[in-house]
Structure 1
Amino acid sequence: LMITPQSTIFPNYLTISQMGLIDTRLGVMLPYFASAMGTFLLRQAFKSVPESLEDAGKLDGCNTFQLIRHVFLPIVRPTLIAFSIISVTYHWNEFLWPLLVTETSRSRTLTVGLTIFAQQAEGGAEWSLLMAATLIVVGPLLIAFTVFQKLFVQSFANSGMKG
């Protein structure tokens, strides 16, 4: 958590390059598959499940996967949704890493494409088109947050954090 993502760009780039994943979608996504914040957040969420519920599930004959599905996941669902929204928003808005790893438009992200679109104007930016494109890029995030807003707010209320 104390190491900023920007400080890992060079080692990540070397790794992605050695794997032959430059200019691929997988190359853009791979460094974000693991998250220290997600690990600690979900660890705390799962530790908050009362041990008596786990014992009750075992007494009812649940195996490990049934315990996770029927006992743990319903309790930590708001935390999972909150982390998912935060993570997707962060990665959706990421600019530097996709700019470094992509070379062609087929694997670029929308944020990089939006910047290139803004720079393509010969006599200055076409603000009406740029604002329409920005709304299209931001639209999916707004829709997702609107759909999951209640669970997002509930996850922070349940965790004891003040908003």
Structure 2
Amino acid sequence: MSAMTLPHQPREFSFWRAIETFGCYLLGFLWILPLLYAVWMAFHPPEYEARFDLLAPLTLENFTNAWNAAPFGRYFFNTFLLISTILISQFIICTLAAYAFARYEFRGKTIVFMLVLVQLMIMPEVLLVENYRTIAKLGLVDTVVAMGLPYMASAFGIFLLRQTFLTVPKELDDAARVEGAGALTTLLKVYVPLAKPIYVAYGLVSVSYHWNNLLWPLVITNSVSTRPLTVGLQVFSSPDQGVQWSIISAAALMTSAPLLIGFLLFQRQFVQSFMRAGIK
């Protein structure tokens, strides 16, 4: 017996649904408006900063001036080195800690995990002075290691991966154990592959935060050879040279382009991973 096909019924008009949709579009437009204005200034001569002219000539001179005004090559290298070091360390430490909290039973487990969660409530700025004193005692001031050392582990990463590992059936552990796999092999062969979307989402969050982090690198670095992009951008707001918004916009676009491209490439994994982890 074939199933009956029901005719398509149009969705009923809802006033509040229309208001909600309009509000979302309005907020999206207000969010992207500054970015569009920055793009406009970056690709047009400085004399068109204060006026919008569709016939204004396009130019790449602002990008050239921005690149020549500061050692952006060094800034990009320092930033990529910093991000890579932090991300690799966080993946290793957070994975091991999350697996222990998810699958092992030990005395004081709940208390230790609560202490990890407490760190989510502490602003990094509160620990700024103590972190600087510790780095100074270690003799690491003005180094890339000093910028990344306070962020080698992440309470948020441990929590996120623990929630994911808890959803993995314990029968998979038993099956791996029957095959002769140890704890580390089970973690690498079973848990880590199942948590790939979570790693992608957390990686985007971590990279975005540390790419835009300004205060700690500004405090801990003194020389051009160790500064990341966020600190390097300060050269364009020098009181001696004045504020050149066209060049600043071009420099800001160059520094933010990798993040925008990364999010566009992995936006589906980013959204799906948080849905799987049960976090809104």
CA displacement 1:62-118 (0-9 Å, x = unmatched): 233331222101211111111111111111111110110011111111011112223
**Structure ranking higher on relative contact order (CA contacts 8 Å, 6+ apart):** 2
Structure 2 residues not aligned, in runs of 5+: 1-119
| 2:264 counterpart of 1:146 | yes
Match of 1:44 in 2: 163
User: Do residues 21 (structure 1) and 140 (structure 2) align?
Assistant: yes
- Report SS of the residue matched to 1:68: helix
2:174 paired residue number: 55
1:4 aligns with 2:123: yes
Structure-2-length-normalised TM-score: 0.55
In the aligned structure 2, how far is the partner of 1:67 from the partner of 1:33?
24
Q: In the TM superposition, what whole-angstrom CA distance separates every residue of 1:104-148 from its partner, at most 9, and x where no partner exists?
A: 1111110111122232662x3222211111011101111222222
- The aligned runs of 1:27-38 (5 Å cut-off) are 27-38=146-157
Structure 2 match to 1:112: 231
Instruction: Write the distance in 2 (CA, Å) between the matches of 1:97 and 1:66.
Output: 37
In structure 2, distance between residues paired with 1:69 and 1:80: 13
Structure 1 residue 151 displacement after superposition: 1.3
State the identity %: 45
Match of 1:102 in 2: 221
For 2:238 and 2:165, locate their aligned partners in 1 and report how far apart those are by CA, in whole Å.
47
Q: Indicate the residue corresponding to 1:70 in structure 2.
A: 189
Structure 1 residue 125 corresponds to structure 2 residue 243: yes
Q: Is 1:157 matched up with 2:275?
A: yes
SS of residue matched to 1:106: helix
* Letter of the structure 2 residue corresponding to residue 50 of structure 1: P
User: Max radius of gyration: which structure?
Assistant: 2
User: Is 2:160–2:277's contact at 8 Å kept on the other side of the alignment?
Assistant: no
Deviations 1:36-63 (A, max 9, x none): 1112222222222111111122223323
Q: Which runs of 5+ in 1 are unaligned?
A: none
Report the TM-score when normalising by structure 1.
Answer: 0.91
Show the counterpart of 2:210: 91
Determine whether 1:134 maps to 2:241.
Answer: no
Deviation at 1:13, TM superposition (A): 0.3
**2: distance between equivalents of 1:152 and 1:87?**
12
